[in-house]
C-alpha cells in the first residue's frame, strides 16, 4: 500500500478546508470499499479524511413528512430502523439484499452511494480500464462482461453501479444533501450518479471536497405496495445481475404514484420518471400495464456477449417486481 496521510475531520468546515488543499485526498466512512481498492492499488489517495467523528448518525423525521438519514448511519441501522422498516420497507429490503451482515454493520449511507464498480477490469491493475486509467481502453466489451451494463453504456465504459441501496433510493426519489467549500447543495437522486460517456472515471456529480451529509426520503414511501427483486448467481453475498425496486400507490386498482428503478443494468440506478408518468400513472395495476411499461423502459438495451441474457432477464424481473409490489407478496 502507498503511504498516505490520515486525519480525523472534527467539523465539516475543516474537512472542506483540508480537501481544498489536497487534490488527491479522499473521505473515508466505513471503508468497506475504499480500503479494498487501496489494497488492490486501484485507489491511491495521498490522504484519508476520516469522517467518523462527525455527528451525522441520526435518522429523523422532517417537517415535510419525509425522513432524513445521516450520512454516517450504517446500512444495518438504516435497514432495521423502525421509521425505515415501517414507512420505507423497500429501502430496508434492498439494503438487506446486499453484502453481508458484517459489511452492512460497517458501511455508511454516504459511502454506499460512493462505492465503485466491481468490474473485474477496474480491479485488475495489469489490464487497461478507462475508469481506472482514462484513455487506456475497455477490454470488458469483448471480454468478461457477464455482470456488466446493457443500458446507458458508452464506447469508453460498460461498468455497472454495484449498490442495492441506491436502486431503492432511486425508486423512492430521494434527495442527497451535500456540503462543501462553496456551500450546501441538494442533489435529486437521479442526478447524483452519472452515465459513463467519455469520462467514465467520474461516477457522480459530487465535486472534489464535497461531503454527503444526508440522504432525504420523500413523504411517500410506498409502504403499502413495494418489492425489491434481486436476481443473482447465489442467494446471498452476490451482486445483482438484475435487480428491480418497485413502489406503487394504488387507489381502486389504479396507480396513483409509482417509482421503478433497476440495478445491475447501468452505470447508475436506471429509472425513467417520465415513462412512469405516461405509462403507469392512472393505469390499472395489471400485467398488461407492466409489459407496456417494461418495453418502453428497456428500449435500446443491448448486450456485449456474456451479458446478453440480461436482455431477457430484465423485462421479466421488472414485471415480477411490479406484480409483487401490486400484490405486496412475499420477498424474492
Partner 1 sequence: MNTHLIGTDVNRIDGPAKVSGAAKYAAEFFAPEMLYAVVVSGTIAHGEISSMDTKKAMEVAGAVEVFTHKNRPHMAWRDKSYLDEDAPTDGKPLRPLYDEKILYSGQPIALCVAETFEAARAMSRLIEVSYKSLTHQTDLAIAVQEAKKIEGTNRTGIEPPPKPRGNSARRLQTPRSSWPRSTTRLPRSTTRWSCSQPP
Given the rule CB under 8 A, which residues bind partner 1? 1-2, 39, 41, 125-127
Q: Tell me the backbone φ, ψ of residue 289, rounded to 5 degrees.
A: -60, -45
| Residue tagged 420477498 (cell numbers) | 331
Cβ proximity to partner 1: between 103 and 273 the closer is: 103
Evaluate the CA torsion angle 273, 230, 194, 214 in order and state its sign.
Answer: positive
CB of 126 to partner 1, least distance (A): 4
Residues paired with residue 246 on neighbouring β-strands, in sequence order: 227, 260
Q: How far is the CB of 200 from partner 1 (least distance, A)?
A: 22
Strands 211-217 and 175-180: antiparallel
H or E segment to which residue 318 belongs: helix 310-327
Q: How near is the Cβ of 329 to partner 1 at its closest, in Å?
A: 34
Q: Which is nearer to partner 1, 122 or 290 (CB)?
A: 122
d(CA 309, CA 194): 24
User: Nearest approach, Cβ of 18 to partner 1 (angstroms)?
Assistant: 25
Smallest separation (angstroms) from partner 1 to the CB of 77 = 20
Residue nearer to partner 1 on the CB measure, 39 or 53 = 39
Q: Minimum distance from CB of 127 to partner 1 (Å)? A: 8
Q: Which is nearer to partner 1, 1 or 330 (CB)?
A: 1
Residue (41 or 186) nearer to partner 1, CB = 41
Q: How many Cβ atoms are within 10 Å of 208's Cβ, its own excluded?
A: 13
DSSP string, 113-159: HH-----HHHH-TTS--TTTSTTS--GGGGSS-TTS-SSS--SS---
Comparing CA positions, the residue from 162, 51, 43 lying closest to residue 108 is 51
Helices 310-327 and 287-297: crossing angle in degrees, nearest 10, is 140
Q: Minimum distance from CB of 125 to partner 1 (Å)?
A: 8
Between 126 and 330, CB nearer to partner 1: 126
Nearer to partner 1, 2 or 55 (CB): 2
CB of 41 to partner 1, least distance (A): 5
Q: Which residues contact 227 (CB under 8 A, 6 or more apart)?
A: 90, 93, 244, 245, 246, 321, 322, 324, 325, 328, 329, 331, 332
In this complex, which beta carbon is closest to partner 1, that of residue 87 or of residue 104?
104
Q: Which residues contact 277 (CB under 8 A, 6 or more apart)?
A: none
Amino acid at each position: 500500500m502507498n503511504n498516505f496521510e490520515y486525519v480525523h475531520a472534527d467539523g465539516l468546515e475543516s474537512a472542506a478546508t483540508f480537501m481544498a488543499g489536497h487534490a488527491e485526498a479522499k473521505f473515508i466512512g466505513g471503508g468497506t470499499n475504499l480500503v479494498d481498492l487501496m489494497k488492490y492499488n486501484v485507489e491511491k489517495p495521498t490522504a484519508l479524511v476520516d469522517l467518523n467523528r462527525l455527528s451525522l448518525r441520526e435518522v429523523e423525521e422532517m417537517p415535510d413528512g419525509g425522513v432524513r438519514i445521516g450520512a454516517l448511519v450504517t446500512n444495518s441501522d438504516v435497514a432495521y430502523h423502525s421509521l425505515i422498516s415501517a414507512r420505507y420497507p423497500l429501502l430496508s429490503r434492498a439494503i438487506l439484499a446486499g453484502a453481508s451482515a458484517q459489511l452492512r454493520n460497517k458501511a455508511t449511507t454516504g459511502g454506499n452511494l460512493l462505492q465503485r464498480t466491481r468490474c473485474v477490469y477496474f480491479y485488475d491493475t495489469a489490464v487497461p480500464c478507462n475508469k481506472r486509467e482514462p484513455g487506456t481502453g475497455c477490454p470488458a466489451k469483448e471480454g468478461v462482461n457477464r455482470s456488466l451494463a446493457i443500458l446507458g453504456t458508452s464506447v469508453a465504459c460498460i461498468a455497472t453501479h454495484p449498490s442495492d441501496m441506491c436502486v431503492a433510493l432511486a425508486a423512492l426519489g430521494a434527495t442527497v444533501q451535500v456540503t462543501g467549500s462553496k456551500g450546501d447543495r441538494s442533489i435529486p437522486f437521479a442526478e447524483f450518479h452519472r452515465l459513463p460517456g467519455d469520462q467514465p472515471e467520474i461516477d457522480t456529480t459530487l465535486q472534489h471536497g464535497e461531503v454527503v451529509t444526508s440522504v432525504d426520503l420523500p413523504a411517500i414511501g410506498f409502504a403499502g405496495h413495494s418489492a425489491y427483486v434481486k436476481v443473482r448467481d447465489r442467494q446471498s453475498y452476490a451482486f445483482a445481475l438484475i435487480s428491480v425496486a418497485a413502489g406503487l400507490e394504488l387507489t381502486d386498482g389504479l396507480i396513483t404514484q409509482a417509482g421503478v428503478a433497476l440495478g445491475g443494468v447501468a452505470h447508475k440506478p436506471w429509472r425513467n420518471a417520465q415513462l412512469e408518468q405516461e405509462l403507469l400513472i392512472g393505469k390499472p395495476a395489471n400485467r398488461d400495464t407492466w409489459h407496456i411499461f417494461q418495453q418502453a423502459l428497456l428500449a435500446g438495451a443491448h448486450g456485449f456477449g456474456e451479458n446478453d441474457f440480461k436482455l431477457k432477464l430484465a423485462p421479466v424481473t421488472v414485471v415480477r417486481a411490479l406484480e409483487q409490489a401490486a400484490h405486496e407478496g412475499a420477498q424474492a
